Structure 1
């Protein structure tokens, strides 16, 4: 089963959660359901507050759309996807489709 490991200096320990891909749940949705301390504001991919580093541990590395790229650039975050690296992504728009991920903020 796919999972996400959440890691942050605002949490005492890493948290790993398994999930069932349903085509509509985002990384931010899952984190909020578990009351993880990820800061977010709009949930629409425009404010950039939910930006975090996402590493794909298994599964397909996903490209980035123009909207996400523009928001990341506005906040001086790298806006390119490098396979195998911890890439800055907007968690509110990152749909869970079966990858195993590591999310750091």
Structure 2
């Protein structure tokens, strides 16, 4: 069985492309994203048996604890950190 992968920022452009590719290759994927810009890019995966969704900010300890506990799959073996603040104006706040 392929590893369980945690993708932070998985609803973003790069994250959503990676999630789709991982699922097609047979990986089990947990996505953590705060959906600041929506999660439409992931809608097709919500029924996929290899997809798990945790909504929230990666800076929130409780959200991360939830993401790291997947009773049916165990803890992720790989973490791909793509969560970021997007755009120069957002970084100025």
TM-score calculated relative to the size of structure 1: 0.26
Decide which structure has greater helix share. 2
